[in-house]
Amino acid sequence: MDIASIIAQILGGAAGGTAGSKIVKGSDLGPLGNLVAGALGGIGGGNILGSLLGSGATAAAASGLDIGALASQLVGGGVGGLVLQVVVGLVKNKLLAK
């Protein structure tokens, strides 16, 4: 895992977290909360996608700057960020609702 993949996962996750708050009602954590939850979910989602794709993606990424590998990290990070932000937002808002 190189720094470009991590940055792509963080950016994708931040975008996914922001989108998740707009898509699902009641999952908003505020602007900073959406970004942080999305970025953390992006790192996890990108790593999970990388392990599911196996050695083909890691070999392509190890050979240099591969646009396909970075795009998959960005998409995996976006999906992971969206999912984590929505889950955390819904749980937090449900627990604090009275």
pLDDT of residue 62: 56
Using a 10 angstrom Cβ sphere, with 0-12 exposed, 13-18 middle and 19 or more buried, the burial of residue 60 is middle
- Cα angle, residue 87 at apex, residues 46 and 9 outer, rounded to 5°: 20
Phi, psi of 4 (to 5 degrees): -65, -40
pLDDT at 53: 73
The pLDDT value given to residue 77: 93
Tell me the C-alpha distance between 31 and 36, whole Å.
9
What tokens appear for 21 in the block? 């708050």
pTM here is: 0.83
Mean pLDDT by 10 residues, the chain (98 residues): 88 95 93 95 87 61 72 91 95 88
